[in-house]
Structure 1
Amino acid sequence: FQSSMLTSIAVNGVAPYHQIATHGWTVDGEGKAMHKSLGNAVSPDEVIKEYGADMLRLWVASADYTQDMRISKDIMKQLSQAYLKIRNTARYMLGNLCDFDPDANLVPVDKLMDLDRFAMASFNELVKTARAAYDKYEFHGVYRAVYNFCVVDMSNFYLDIIKDRLYCGGEEERRSAQTALYYILDGMTRLIAPILAFTSDEIWHAMKHAKGVDAESVLLNDMPEDNAAFTLDEAAQTRWNRLVSLRDAVNKALENARNAGVFKKAQDTEVTVSVSAEDAASLKDEDLATLCIVSKVTVTTESLEGEKNEDCLIPCTIAVKLSEAPKCPRCWNHNEHIGAAGHHAELCPRCAAVVGQ
């Protein structure tokens, strides 16, 4: 770098490159320079042997290279957990796309269920963040954005909620969720390809692809771009921000009730939420039980003995109790209408309808 720069400037008067990114000194976990005599050197060969080449690439991408870059066994061990979260999130999505053919089963974006549209909008925000970070050569920004998306938006929220629909729902519900999973996995794999080259290619070869996509390698395909079709309008985004905030408040109340020994599984509970009359009207048609992964949610405007949540975007009081309704052996939700369908008498109405189909 130095010799080529000096030579080019001396001979041609210009640098021999258009852009260049340089990094700081590579040091050990305590910030000390590496020396054989100190025994604190970390060999790339050792890292690759223990973790694989992609982990070494991920370490480079995760570090802020404008400062000294620290590396140690503890740092690599911690980073390996982040890598597994990204990999396992992709693995879960792959597993639930096993019977999905994008050319035959893809649902138009405007026909997707609300939750799936919200997941697509969240992914679109990831695309914008990652593309902007790539343009600035801020690879650690890409890593953090992808990791947070896998943990917060996918594992802790979307994937957790749609498990019931993927395993127990009807055909239309399942295909809607699978369409969102396909778009997200396809796009996320392209986003991480410059950093996790081998992992992304492994995912790519395990996927089914739509016509027109180069299936040979993810590296031969373009990154996703900001897609207006995936974006929610302001009213829809505000609605989802409120619902996510309410879900967080319910989860907090559930966790406190679980710690108090009220229940073991959230699906065994019924939740009552006391809100203002205005908020009650806005929540009237929301499927809060599915959103909160409980058997039943009742919204009321009456005062309630329970956990107050003034910081929630929907100020509320939440009460949790163990459901006394019978339990459906197929979806594990409790429902007072089990057997009402007249066939498959042991199942809840939703499961009886699906099995009937």
Structure 2
Amino acid sequence: MSATTPDGSHRAAADRYDTHTTYRRAGNSGLDLPAFSFGLWQKFGTDYPYETQRDIVLRAFDLGITHFDNANRYGPPPRAAEKFLGQVLRRDLAPYRDELVLSTKAGNPIGPSPYQRGASRKSLLTSLEQSLRDLGTDYVDIFYSHRYDPTTPLEETAGALASAVTSGKALYVGISNYPVERAHETAELLRDAGAPLLVHQPRYSLFDRGPERDGLIDLAARDGFGLVVYSPLAQGLLTDKYLTDTVPESARARNSAFLSPDVIDDTYRERATALNELARDRGQSLAQLALQWVLRLPQITSALIGASSTWQLDHNVRALDFPPLTEEELTLIDKHGVHGTALQT
């Protein structure tokens, strides 16, 4: 059980490595990541209460989740999520820094300056310096190029990532949302530079099977990097929240830039309801089924999950407690987990 110290900071649970979480090797590296990593993409800006956010992050660590995924863009406003995590690190998690895997990203636009976007050496490395200041740490464990930048030579981008490692400001490097051919080229460039590509971060779920269709999963096995997948619950579509004809007032689809009520149609409900029935037969929720399915492949090192409450976090992490999916169940899942269902690009 966790507790507080005399000064009110967090004392981590002594059994945090004996609970639900398992660890998986990231590609051909020596680094293990938790099966579930915690993402600060949404609900960790200034528009949510700090104490609620803090409770969720500390609960994640108490559950054995050691990897916290961030980006300079996350907020709102940009960099707010990094500043929030920096506060939690200083107040609560500083004694455990050697147990944490902190990642951040740069490359998506965060402001009007030409240096606040793209994958140039200037953009990536100056953003990394700011991220280190906001997080209050000397280094991050993983530094990502957040998206492929066709206006910058890949050699420059890979060189900047390698420099982050050789300077000691990052231990590993990754890429996110890169087309498959560019991912392979980047992996080769980084290998030649002595900073092998650790992970690629794509979107992947039962309703978004892009990494299967474009060959990224096969490429990860060939090139020796892991996959840390985001949106494994398809922005909440792979929960029981939208199975009725009415979208709840509190649902993400009401106020999210990444999910619209327009995509929640009869086809979606038919498929999601069938998946929900299969999950119920297994004694689990639809969310737990979807998370377990994502982790079925060895190339998937970790699935990024967020949470709006500690209850939701606990519930999702318990997906690891269920028996493996059988071949018959996987066949049935393939029938209803159709690529493109309610998908927004």
- TM-score, scaled to structure 1: 0.27
Quick check: which one's strand share is greater? Answer: 2
**Higher Cα radius of gyration:** 1
- TM-score, scaled to structure 2: 0.28
Quick check: which one's helix share is greater? Answer: 1
